[in-house]
Structure 1
Amino acid sequence: MTKRIESVDILRGFTIAAMILVNTPGDWSNVYSPLLHAKWHGLTPTDLVFPFFLFIVGISIYFAYKSKSNSLLTYKKIVIRSLKLIGLGLFLNLFLPYVPFVSDFETLRLPGVLQRIGVVFLISSILYLNCNWKSLLGISIIILVAYWLFLGFMPFPNLNGIPPSFDRASNNWANYIDLNLLGKHMWQPDYDPEGIISTLPAIVTCLIGILIGKLLDGLKQIKQLFIVAFGLLISGYIFSIYFPINKAIWSSSFVLVTSGWGTLLLAIIYYLIDIKKYNFGNIFKYVGMNAITIYFLSSFISKFMYLTKVGEDSNIHSWLYETIYIHGFLSFKLSSLLYALTVVLCYLGLGYYMYLKRIFIKV
Structure 2
Amino acid sequence: MQNRILSVDIFRGMTIVLMILVNTPGTWSAVYAPFLHAEWHGYTPTDLVFPFFLFIVGTSITFSYKSRTATAATYKKISVRTLKLIALGLFLGAFTLSFPFIKDFADIRFPGVLQRIGVVYFFAAILFLNVNWKTLIGIAIALSLGYWLLMVLVPVNGIESTLERAPNNLANWVDVKIFGSHNYKADYDPEGLLSTIPSIVSALFGIFTGLILLSRQDKKATILMGIGGSMLIVGHLWGWVFPINKALWTSSFVLVTGGWANLILALIYYLTDVRNIEFGSVFRYAGANAIVLYFLSSFISKLMGMIQIGETSLHGWLFGTIYANDYMSLQLSSLLYGLTVVAFYMLLAYVLYKRKIFIKV
TM-score of Structure 1 vs Structure 2, range by shorter chain? over 0.9
User: How do 1:1-150 and structure 2 match up within 5 A?
Assistant: 4-97=4-97, 99=99, 101-150=101-150
C-alpha displacement of 1:96: 1.4
In the superposition, relative to structure 1, how do residues 181 and 2 fare at CA in structure 2: closer, same or farther (>3 Å)?
A: farther
Instruction: Report the Cα offset of residue 97 of structure 1.
Output: 2.7
Measured in 2, the distance between the counterparts of 1:309 and 1:340 equals 20
Task: Report deviation, 1:177.
Answer: 0.8
Residues 177 and 196 in structure 1, CA contact (< 8 A), matched pair in contact too: yes
The answer to whether the 8 Å contact 1:2/1:63 transfers is: no
CA contact (8 A) 2:26 2:319 kept: yes
Identical pairs, percent? 54
Please tell me whether the aligned partners of residues 4 and 213 of structure 2 are also in contact (alpha carbons under 8 angstroms): no
Aligned to 2:205: 208
Q: SS at the partner of 1:5?
A: helix
The CA distance in 2 between the partners of 1:107 and 1:92, in whole Å, is 13
Pairwise CA distance, 1:76 = 0.2
Q: Which runs of 5+ in 1 are unaligned?
A: none
Superposition CA RMSD, Å: 1.3
Distance in 1 of aligned mates of 2:232 and 2:186: 33
Q: Give the Å deviation of 1:247.
A: 0.2
Residue 103 of structure 1: how far off its partner (Å): 0.3
TM-score (norm. length: structure 2): 0.97
Corresponding residue number in structure 1 for 2:347? 349
Cα shift at 1:117: 0.2
For 2:296, the equivalent position in structure 1 comes to: 297
For 2:208 and 2:156, the matched residues in 1 are separated by: 35
Is structure 2 residue 280 aligned with structure 1 residue 281?
yes
Q: Which runs of 5+ in 2 are unaligned?
A: none
Tell me if the contact between 2:3 and 2:272 (Cα under 8 Å) persists in the aligned partners: no
The 1-side partners of 2:246 and 2:227 are apart by 22
TM-score, normalised via structure 1 length:
0.97
The equivalent residue for 2:318 is 320
Q: How far is the alpha carbon of 1:98 from its aligned partner? A: 6.0
Stretch deviating more after TM superposition (212-221 or 111-120): 212-221
Checking the alignment, whether the CA contact within 8 Å between 2:12 and 2:53 is kept in structure 1 is yes
> Can you list the C-alpha shifts for 1:240-261, whole angstroms capped at 9, x where unaligned?
0110000001000000000000
**For the Cα contact (< 8 Å) 1:166–1:172, is it kept in 2?**
yes
Shift >4 Å, 4+ stretches = 1-4
Deviations 1:8-58 (A, max 9, x none): 000000000000000000000000111000111010000000000000000
- Indicate if the aligned counterparts of 2:163 and 2:169 stay in contact, CA closer than 8 A: yes
Post-superposition CA distance 1:150-206 (Å, at most 9, x none): 1011233433xxx21111131111111111211110000111000000000000000
Question: Of the candidates 338, 341, 356, which is equivalent to residue 340 of structure 1?
Answer: 338
- CA shift, 1:3, in A, is 8.2
Query: Do the aligned residues in 1 keep the contact of 2:34 with 2:44 (CA within 8 Å)?
Result: yes
- Alignment partner, residue 218 of structure 2: 220
Q: How many residues align?
A: 359
Give the CA deviation at 1:209.
0.4
